[in-house]
Every structure is written in C-alpha cells, then in structure tokens.
Amino acid sequence: MLDNFFSAFKKKKRVGLALGGGVARGIAHIGVLKVFKKHKIPIHFISATSAGSIIGALYAAG
C-alpha cells in the first residue's frame, strides 16, 4: 500500500514554496512568485506565516 503511495510522488516532480513573515520579506515574495510565473515553474504547495501567508493566500486564490 505504501509503495503505491510513494510511487505516485516519484513520477512527477513537485515544487513547494515556504513564505516567511515580515513586511519587507512579504514584498520580496511577490518578486519571487513573478519569476516563477515568468519561467513557467508551477507551484504545487505553499506554506507560509504572517505576511507570507497573505501573499501565499492571494497567489493561491489566483
């Protein structure tokens, strides 16, 4: 059962993004997200705190 679970994740590479707190860092996260979009790098997971959670939520909402 676990073999099937892990083999599903091995088939595709996934990108996760961790966004931190702080206003200056939160603004910097916007630039990072723009670069990811420019280079067509999909983001599958977002984890964030404080200002980063606001940016992450806005990104996830579209």
More confident residue, 10 or 19: 19
Does the structure show a pLDDT above 70 at 1? no
Residue 42 C-alpha from the chain's centroid: 8
Number of structural domains in the chain: 1
Supply φ then ψ for residue 23, to 5 degrees: -65, -45
Q: Is residue 43 part of a domain?
A: yes
Span 15-60, pLDDT tens digits: 999 999 989 998 999 999 999 999 999 999 999 999 999 999 999 9
Structural domain range at position 39 = 19-61
Query: What is the identity of the amino acid at 45?
Result: F
Instruction: Give DSSP secondary structure letters for 11-55.
Output: HS---EEEE--SHHHHHHHHHHHHHHHHTT----EEEE-HHHHHH
* pLDDT at 62 (0 to 100): 87
Q: Is residue 14 part of a domain?
A: no
Q: Is residue 11 part of a domain?
A: no
pTM over 0.95: no
Distance CA 37, CA 52 (A): 17
